[in-house]
Amino acid sequence: MKNIKLLLVAMLMCMVTNGMAQAKNTPDTQQDYYMYSWIQVRGANMSNGEHCFVILISSGNGSNYKPSILKNEEGKSIIFNSQIDGLNYLTLQGWELFQPRTEAKISNWVARKRVSREVLAKTVKSNTFYSAETPKVQLDMAEQAAHIDYE
């Protein structure tokens, strides 16, 4: 009889714990949200001529913002001895390399960082515009030859 009571209590505890865990999973907490940025690791030179590496980052905040050298909270440039050191730093800061590309000896990446839904919504709201005018898409050569027009 004691064993049956113990089993029933254990099952009841499992059911309560499971119910509490499911209650915490609201739609906003079930999905991961990411902020995407374009990142480029570039060779640079210090004022004394010493070679180093820096990370150029563009947060995608509209076309008016050019990439800038990654800086710390104090506004100081973050400098690395190698590209790998720079990538390790980004990983430690929570960035994930999402799409690596290498062009002309320059390493480019689309990187992402997990953020809250609120942070992402604020960024999207400040960088999204609506217009009754439909912009003309810049066509590549194949699209031009095929007389494609996106509307």
pLDDT of residue 81: 93
DSSP state of 65: P
The answer to whether 35 and 120 have CB atoms below 8 angstroms apart is yes
pLDDT of residue 85: 92
Task: Flag whether 108 is in a domain.
Answer: yes
Structure tokens at 59: 């947060």
Task: Flag whether 140 is in a domain.
Answer: no
Domain hosting 105: range is 31-127
This prediction's pTM: 0.62
DSSP state of 34: E
Q: What is the CA radius of gyration of the chain?
A: 25
Residues of the chain with pLDDT under 50: 23
Task: Flag whether 69 is in a domain.
Answer: yes
pLDDT of residue 126: 84
CA atoms within 13 A of residue 135's CA, in its CB half-sphere: 6
For 98, residues 6+ apart whose C-beta sits below 8 A from its C-beta are 36, 109, 110, 111, 112
Question: How many domains, in total, are found in the chain?
Answer: 1
Task: Flag whether 113 is in a domain.
Answer: yes
Closest CA to 32 of 109, 115, 89: 115
Task: For the chain, give the number of residues.
Answer: 151
